[in-house]
Structures are given as structure tokens and as C-alpha cells.
Amino acid sequence: MIIELIGYIGSIIIVVSMLMTSVIKLRLLNMLGGIIFSVYALMIHSYPTAIMNIVLSIINLVNIHKLMAKEKKYSIVKLNSEDSFLRFFLYQHESDIKIFFPNLEIKRNYDYAYIVCYQSNPVGIFLGMAGEENSIEIKIDYVTPAFRDCSIGSYLYEYISARKGISSLTFKKPTEEHRKYLLRMGFIEKDDSYVKAF
């Protein structure tokens, strides 16, 4: 019974890994499931299955190392908030964006509008309004699921901090999920807002 349970656990983890949108998470879970399934295969003396899963786990480990070691090179395109491509991006990702930014206003005019690209593909968006004391009030700081490792945020905030006259970023009343991200990115809670000073 315990041996079969180990096999089921390994199989479930492998299946769940295929639901991951992040390539790194997919490979990590797939590797874990492969290791557990290898143990199961060895316990039932199914050596070809064990060897296959061990090899697949090693391949996953090598690819994880490559993904972690590879420096992601981003570029930022400054847009007008009425730009048709910006509106297209917002419409394309509207349902996912609203999970983190339920008050999304696609047709609103923003003082700051940036799209972050990876290998010429748009993967993130930043929309903000001019705030008090040379700050930007963030309205949307969205990244597509495969790139949610904070690297885009770090690149974007470094880019913004280098702009003359910008002293801080603020975000008011974030969702719980986005609040966790803001804290990871160095924002400090202040009243009902989160502030990152430069």
C-alpha cells in the first residue's frame, strides 16, 4: 500500500507540473515527481522506468541550471497611454490583469506608460499617474505568468529611478497577492499605501 502511494504521489506531482505557467516551476516539480517515481520504480523492480525517470530528472536539473544562470535581457518601450498596441495588450490580458488590479481602466489616459519586452516580445506593462512630490502613483504593474520572478520589476524600477525628477513610487490599496510582491520589491507600508523611495 505504501509503495503504491509513493507511485501515485510521483505521478500526481508530474501531472501537476504540466499545469505550471512558469518554466522553472514546471521543471522543478517535474524533476521532483520524476525522483519520487524513480524510487517507486526501483521498489517494484521496474528498472527501465527508474532509469528513464532518473535521466529525465537529470535533464530537468541541467535545464533549471541553464535557466537560472541565463541573464534575462529586457528592453523598455515608452508609450503614449492612447497607443493602440498598449490597448491591445491590456485587452489580451484583461482577465489576468484584473486578478491583481481589479480597478483596471483600459481607456484611461495615464501619465506614464511603459511596456517591458523580452527578446522583442511584450511581457510586462507599467501604467502610472504623476503623484505628489515627484512620485509616480502606480496603477498597473503587470507581468505575464511566465516572467513572475521579480526580475522584470527590478529592471523596470531601476529604469524609472534613473529618470530625472522621479523620487518614489507609490501604490494604494493593493490586493493581497500584489502586496506580497510589493514587499519583496522593497516597498514600505505607509498608511494605506506602499512606497518605494529612490
Reported as a single tens digit per residue, the pLDDT across 39-74 is 999 999 999 999 999 999 999 999 888 777 666 789
Which three-class secondary structure state does DSSP give residue 175?
A: coil
Of the candidates 105, 162, 171, 160, the one whose C-alpha atom is nearest the C-alpha of residue 137 is 171
- In this structure, the number of other CB atoms found within 10 A of the CB of residue 193 comes to 18
SS3 annotation, 13-60? HHHHHCCCCCHHHHHHHHHHHHHHHHHHHHHCCCHHHHHHHHHHHHHH
| Sign of the alpha-carbon torsion through 71, 77, 81, 84 | negative
Mean pLDDT of the chain: 89
Reported as a single tens digit per residue, the pLDDT across 25-39 is 889 999 999 999 999
How much is the pTM? Answer: 0.67
Assigned C-alpha cell, 192: 494605506
Q: What is the pLDDT of residue 70?
A: 62
